[in-house]
Structure 1
């Protein structure tokens, strides 16, 4: 059994059981929608009551707001400027409507600017930093926006793909937490996990183009209580799309680069269309590139659209829609042995199908012959094909002078196929390999409603979030030809019927979250914040198809698991003890819902037997943590600085662990017990002279297991070992010079050593990486308002290094195929015009 089998199974998949009917044709069950198998329970009763309470609260508030506006004499607006306050009615003393309060993020000091105004989060009671749209311009156009977020301290972004299209070869960590343990939103719509094959996730690079992002707020410690997420153990990342422009115009951008990279972006803004202020934009984003290693390619196209409609003077309606489509070939996984023996040049055989046939028959290329398992070194192809739909609408209202509401309804859908040519399952044609598809579809529907009430020095905020999700994963196999001259199965076209289905599951999940918080300005320079969230995640599955010859049982695990927390508290504060100087602290408890996946995978529902799952139902507890942080901020025109100290007590940490020999490793869902994390982030941005800024940051993280582990009858000494994949030490530097349309920036990253195994007996070395960019912007260039020319070099010194790791899980001890090689030096040029 191959270690690579874990790749599209989210964990390792055992080989076919002898005697399995490989040639049997099975019906395609993937699109079947699951109904929840969960019986009525007290948890559901509580959740229903919470749902009704939230709806009633919203309805009563809106009714009260409508009456209050009527009493105050507020009339529908005829101006194109939303939220402009009308004058007081004549003859009514002191009855005029006061200016509207600026909408604030909970946790910010009342009366202070929103948290996003400063890169170091001035005024926030938590560690809060922001990435502006200008920061995104320093990257290669089309690169995933997570790359810009990765420049902040404590955040580790890695990718083998220069444009970040391939999800398999990238990872995102924040204070040691993976992207599936963080909270992500775009315009208030929950994006779910950002990892490869995340059951509920929409990667932000599939949801919005960089040019349409106005700002990004990042909380590295504890996220805001109102974030719609059930996975934010280690913080939140909130993306805010910019609104359509008030004047008609547009942007066109064209990028060319190494490895035939070609990216086109076009956006049209309607401008204000009528006296009520209606406006919209629509954009199209297309990019493709050849892989820098191997013979395959990557492609993505995306459409974004947004409409803004003011309703009267105090209400704004917005609706957003996104569609994206991808066919992204991935880079193959490497082990330390493969890199030492063969070098950095290992990739899939594609397009040499004959070589893949030979390898499946035990005839290997010369460079692979010295490996302990040459069959597991390379395969014909690995590619993901997907399509995503994200839609939402929001209503933002100033109900009274002191009462604000925001309600968002959304729908998310995706179809995802993770392909890999398996040399361990034969085709009916007689070929010793087949096209394996880890298929999934997800549909999420939900809404969130929030009320914010200002009373004297208090800002009260409460809200309710509900979501229903249907998730259907399946493992299917398609026929490959038994001839080197024949045409292999076309994964992108994806036609035909699978000849074999190992398993197919259907999940139905209901999420109920209620939050309540108060931000209290005790003194003009002292703010305290306290609140809590109640979370109920009711998930269950049923088996849609089962191949007993593969699973070894006629009754695979099925049933429900509830992740419930009556109160997850958060306490924080901010003290501005001198002009431009402030201290802050934060204490919070967080919980993550159970991950969902299919048979034999790193999920409670991936248990080997029904009895194992029944045991988990009684004994398993969700991942939880307590996060403590304290920090200092300095915010002056010349110096912006941050020092943040944090400690995390992590309980019931559940990991995907690969055990057994390298060639026969399989992933297990293990509770590795408690983890204690201590770390520090520090950053400073200096502006010594006009036009020049220098940014430096350093972060240190010690994340140690507190328990030993016995797995498969083998004892592993984990206690005191560092968690794998995340660097203990990172340093980042950026120098930026901007004057009269000319911009020059140079970035440096130092990534410290990272452990591969849980017992820390294997690791990858540290590395330095540099990027350089230069641009010039011409104003009033003919018909264009601005014309910009940009040139950049990634990996200036052509460093050879290991970038992403842990893509298929990590071994408890030793080596494993789970490493990705970083891209070599590459060049990109862009011409863009704004009209």
Structure 2
């Protein structure tokens, strides 16, 4: 049983534009956003201290952020040059409590009980620590910050639309989930690991060789490495220069789509390089490729119906066995905790949608 309530406050963006010179357009936007709320969940996974098999978990998130976007757009004949900056400050807080529920015959579910914060479920956040561990890190963890620099070029013609993007990111006080102890029941904690430097490039394009036919390809390379070694109770780990776990360095996506009249069909594929499981990069899962197939046909004016959509989709067409999620229970400094989730096998989906 889950009940949610949300209060949202959004300040409408204020945007301004001016033209300081012919063909030159300068736009700026100032925005702010805030929301808070709560949700409750009656969970059987954490019993109450009084012996009741259930407890109530209350979660109270709050978000505050504001920022500025400013860009210059310069039209030079058939070419457009655009540059700009973006700055955003964001703060996220979250309180999570477990409340004791009454034993049978001693109360009614849903009545208040003191919030005691006993236990918590394991997750890749500071909340994965027990109370003593959380108290220890709450005054030492620093918020993660980053500076992002990006440049790109876009080409638009009748036969080809292409985009090249190059970026560099400097992270400070990077937060990572680290697991220690035995494989069966490791201790998971969030820790500042210093700086992380990310460099990447992405090239994508859509080709229109024939009428009704489009061919899309995208390839990206990302290299994210730690800037500092990591000091733990077990000593110093040589993380400097190692890749951040759980992220592939090379990704590819391709799609072929054909649309004529009311028929639309496509086949696409996604490829991911290997991902490291440990911070020292001595364990990894292999890369994989997945293909998908889909088709849709639209029927119009079918008696009392104004539109009927018939769709068929096949996921993981070649029934590839692959690891979908890694680091599900954190990542160790070295070795393999085997905390990952296998991907879904081949699946077929069919649907019919109607409009009156």
TM-score surpassing 0.5? yes
Q: Distance in 1 between matches of 2:61 and 2:316?
A: 45
Report the CA distance shift for 1:497/1:639 in structure 2 as closer, same or farther (over 3 A): farther
Q: Distance in 2 between matches of 1:674 and 1:474?
A: 39
Provide the residue aligned with 2:171 in structure 1: 650
Q: Please list the CA deviations of residues 457-516 of structure 1 after superposition, one character each: whole Å capped at 9, or x if unmatched.
A: 54343233333455789986349xxxxxxxxxxxxxxxx983587x978767573x4434
Give yes or no for contact 1:754–1:763 (8 Å, CA) kept in 2: yes
Provide the residue aligned with 2:221 in structure 1: 700
Give yes or no for contact 2:294–2:313 (8 Å, CA) kept in 1: yes
SS at 2:247 equivalent:
coil
Residue 627 of structure 1 is aligned with which of 120, 145, 148?
A: 148
Report the CA distance shift for 1:540/1:770 in structure 2 as closer, same or farther (over 3 A): closer
Q: Please list the CA deviations of residues 330-374 of structure 1 after superposition, one character each: whole Å capped at 9, or x if unmatched.
A: xxxxxxxxxxxxxxxxxxxxxxxxxxxxxxxxxxxxxxxxxxxxx
Report the CA distance shift for 1:599/1:750 in structure 2 as closer, same or farther (over 3 A): closer
Report the CA distance shift for 1:778/1:818 in structure 2 as closer, same or farther (over 3 A): same
Report the CA distance shift for 1:474/1:660 in structure 2 as closer, same or farther (over 3 A): farther
Q: Distance in 1 between matches of 2:312 and 2:95?
A: 51
Q: Please list the CA deviations of residues 300-348 of structure 1 after superposition, one character each: whole Å capped at 9, or x if unmatched.
A: xxxxxxxxxxxxxxxxxxxxxxxxxxxxxxxxxxxxxxxxxxxxxxxxx
Provide the residue aligned with 1:409 in structure 2: none
Asked if 1:776 is matched to 2:331, the reply is no
Report the CA distance shift for 1:544/1:717 in structure 2 as closer, same or farther (over 3 A): same
| CA RMSD after TM alignment | 3.4
Residue 796 of structure 1 deviates from its aligned partner by: 1.4
Asked if 1:477 is matched to 2:46, the reply is yes
Give yes or no for contact 1:599–1:607 (8 Å, CA) kept in 2: no
Asked if 1:451 is matched to 2:6, the reply is no
Give yes or no for contact 2:42–2:54 (8 Å, CA) kept in 1: no
Asked if 1:767 is matched to 2:288, the reply is yes
Within-5 A mapping of 1:348-363: none
* Structure number with higher relative contact order (C-alpha < 8 Å, ≥ 6 residues apart): 1
Give yes or no for contact 1:698–1:732 (8 Å, CA) kept in 2: yes
- Greater fraction of residues in strand: 2
Asked if 1:608 is matched to 2:133, the reply is yes
Report the CA distance shift for 1:536/1:829 in structure 2 as closer, same or farther (over 3 A): closer
Provide the residue aligned with 1:498 in structure 2: 52
Residue 32 of structure 2 is aligned with which of 452, 456, 464?
A: 464
Q: Distance in 2 between matches of 1:531 and 1:684?
A: 26
Q: Distance in 2 between matches of 1:515 and 1:597?
A: 26
Q: Please list the CA deviations of residues 18-47 of structure 1 after superposition, one character each: whole Å capped at 9, or x if unmatched.
A: xxxxxxxxxxxxxxxxxxxxxxxxxxxxxx
Q: Distance in 2 between matches of 1:477 and 1:538?
A: 23
Q: Distance in 1 between matches of 2:170 and 2:309?
A: 48
Q: Distance in 1 between matches of 2:281 and 2:71?
A: 44
Q: Please list the CA deviations of residues 408-448 of structure 1 after superposition, one character each: whole Å capped at 9, or x if unmatched.
A: xxxxx3xxxxxxxxxxxxxxxxxxxxxxxxxxxxx443222
Residue 531 of structure 1 deviates from its aligned partner by: 5.5
Residue 826 of structure 1 deviates from its aligned partner by: 1.5
Residue 735 of structure 1 deviates from its aligned partner by: 0.7
Within-5 A mapping of 1:347-426: 386=2, 413=5
Report the CA distance shift for 1:704/1:473 in structure 2 as closer, same or farther (over 3 A): farther
Q: Please list the CA deviations of residues 632-664 of structure 1 after superposition, one character each: whole Å capped at 9, or x if unmatched.
A: 111223211111111111111111111112023
Give yes or no for contact 1:769–1:797 (8 Å, CA) kept in 2: yes
- Name structure 1 gaps, 5 residues minimum: 1-384, 389-412, 414-442, 480-495, 552-594
TM-score normalised over the length of structure 2 = 0.79
Q: Distance in 2 between matches of 1:510 and 1:825?
A: 39
Residue 672 of structure 1 deviates from its aligned partner by: 1.2
Q: Distance in 1 between matches of 2:132 and 2:149?
A: 34
Within-5 A mapping of 1:128-147: none
- Greater fraction of residues in helix: 1
Q: Please list the CA deviations of residues 185-220 of structure 1 after superposition, one character each: whole Å capped at 9, or x if unmatched.
A: xxxxxxxxxxxxxxxxxxxxxxxxxxxxxxxxxxxx
SS at 1:813 equivalent:
coil
TM-score normalised over the length of structure 1 = 0.36
Within-5 A mapping of 1:427-442: none
Give yes or no for contact 1:504–1:544 (8 Å, CA) kept in 2: no
Residue 742 of structure 1 deviates from its aligned partner by: 2.0
Give yes or no for contact 1:759–1:813 (8 Å, CA) kept in 2: yes
Provide the residue aligned with 1:545 in structure 2: 116
Q: Distance in 2 between matches of 1:445 and 1:631?
A: 35
Residue 529 of structure 1 deviates from its aligned partner by: 3.2
Provide the residue aligned with 2:108 in structure 1: none
Report the CA distance shift for 1:663/1:467 in structure 2 as closer, same or farther (over 3 A): same
SS at 2:133 equivalent:
coil
Provide the residue aligned with 1:529 in structure 2: 84
Report the CA distance shift for 1:546/1:517 in structure 2 as closer, same or farther (over 3 A): closer
Provide the residue aligned with 1:809 in structure 2: 330
Within-5 A mapping of 1:513-528: 513-521=65-73, 525-528=80-83
Give yes or no for contact 1:807–1:819 (8 Å, CA) kept in 2: yes
Q: Distance in 2 between matches of 1:784 and 1:474?
A: 43
Q: Distance in 2 between matches of 1:448 and 1:545?
A: 35
Q: Distance in 2 between matches of 1:672 and 1:678?
A: 18
Give yes or no for contact 2:63–2:90 (8 Å, CA) kept in 1: no
Residue 698 of structure 1 deviates from its aligned partner by: 0.9
Report the CA distance shift for 1:740/1:533 in structure 2 as closer, same or farther (over 3 A): closer
SS at 1:745 equivalent:
strand
- Name structure 2 gaps, 5 residues minimum: 21-25, 98-113
Provide the residue aligned with 2:105 in structure 1: none
Asked if 1:719 is matched to 2:288, the reply is no
Give yes or no for contact 2:2–2:39 (8 Å, CA) kept in 1: no
Q: Distance in 2 between matches of 1:674 and 1:812?
A: 17
Within-5 A mapping of 1:12-91: none
Instruction: Give the greater-gyration-radius structure (CA).
Output: 1
